[in-house]
A and B are shown apart, each in its own frame.
Chain A
């Protein structure tokens, strides 16, 4: 009797957790978790050398299911905890999973200062355009005019561009992709993990049950199809006429450069003072 081959993902899941997981049917969080696990598997990291840290939110449930060192922390404070882990164990690969509200609203201050400090963390921002877990309040990334439970007549706030924010704050690896472009997401996560310095990968995800239902975007496949059409590489985006750019966004690597890393600078400072 032949056996069906096991998926790589199954080897990294926590065995005592209940499956299927808590995410709604069609939610992209599972796809993104799969991409992260495949990237880690490709890089052949030891399970004990990886720390996965998250705040509160739908996407922040990810570390609950995987068998790495994990921390499920306060809302928005994942980066602060991760900084502590990285400072204590600089050789550890620290991955931070946050949502759009977690990273840019509640943890906005932690986010910009982690970028500025250039500490070697890999941050994956899962952007589903809404606060899904708490019932659909609008977040800083809800597009202007879209409906949320706290903006029933349309959101009047302008949108936060997470990649531009990270570029402005001084992150040294900035990339954006979508949950539909899962192979690209895997390769970006891999590059971000290998990058020395603060790296951020923004992954656009579909929330068909709350955001999709409130804004009549259709079911999960329809939202994924929309991502496929709207996320364009930089070259293709530049070719479009200004009126065609409405609703479309760029995917790809925006920045990748080497800059002195925080834990190394700190170790140097300690060593230099001990010599005196």
Chain B
């Protein structure tokens, strides 16, 4: 049996734990989100390692919850405006956005 090594990365948004055989299946812990109700505060999670700054999510967000930073990368500018339509989640070509369900 091979021993699985865990790789821990610390980001501004939280800590990502990657297991060796599945770097995709990550468990993301975000410091701001502590209870289910807190999803309203940050309804969209952007995985910046996979984001290529194409701008599609910002363009097609119907309520302008997402906005662009000066370098082109998206961020959650108005979390209270999110209507949980998951348009950013569906339209992200790099699978880098997870929209939380209501």
- A residues touching B (Cβ–Cβ < 8 Å)? 1-7, 9-11, 13, 15-16, 19-21, 23, 25-31, 34-35, 38, 180, 182-183, 208, 219-221, 224-225
Contacts and interface: CB of A to CB of B under 8 A. Distances in A.
A35 B93 CA distance: 10
Given A182-B90, A221-B55, A2 B34 contact: yes
Contacts of B45: 4
Interface string B1-30: 000000000000000000001111101111
Contacts of B65: none
B24 A13 contact: yes
B56 A15 contact: no
Contacts of B77: none
Contact of A10 (B39, B49, B95): B95
A13 B90 contact: no
Contacts of A27: 93
A221 B56 contact: yes
Given A9-B95, A220-B56, A221-B60, A3 B90 contact: no
B28 A28 contact: no
Interface of B: 21-25, 27-30, 33-36, 38-39, 45, 49-56, 58-60, 89-96, 98, 100-101
Contact of B53 (A7, A25, A35): A25
Interface hub of A4, A27, A28, A35 (most chain B Cβ within 10 A): A4
Contacts, number: 102
Contact of B55 (A5, A30, A182, A220): A220
B93 A4 contact: no
A16 B24 CA distance: 8
Contact of B100 (A4, A11, A30, A225): A4
Given A15-B24, A31-B93, A34-B95, A26 B54 contact: yes
A269 B77 CA distance: 64
Given A27-B93, A29-B93, 17 more contacts: A1-B29, A1-B33, A2-B34, A2-B35, A3-B27, A5-B100, A6-B98, A19-B94, A26-B56, A31-B93, A34-B90, A34-B93, A35-B90, A182-B91, A220-B55, A221-B56, A221-B59
B102 to A, nearest CB: 12
19 contacts: A2-B29, A2-B36, A2-B39, A3-B28, A4-B28, A10-B25, A10-B95, A15-B21, A15-B22, A15-B24, A19-B23, A19-B50, A20-B51, A26-B52, A26-B54, A34-B93, A180-B60, A221-B58, A224-B60
A175 to B, nearest CB: 18
Contacts of B52: 20, 25-26
B53 to A, nearest CB: 7
A23 B92 CA distance: 13
A174 B26 CA distance: 39
6 residue pairs, one from A and one from B, having the closest CB atoms: A30-B93, A221-B59, A26-B54, A25-B52, A15-B22, A25-B54
A21 B24 contact: no
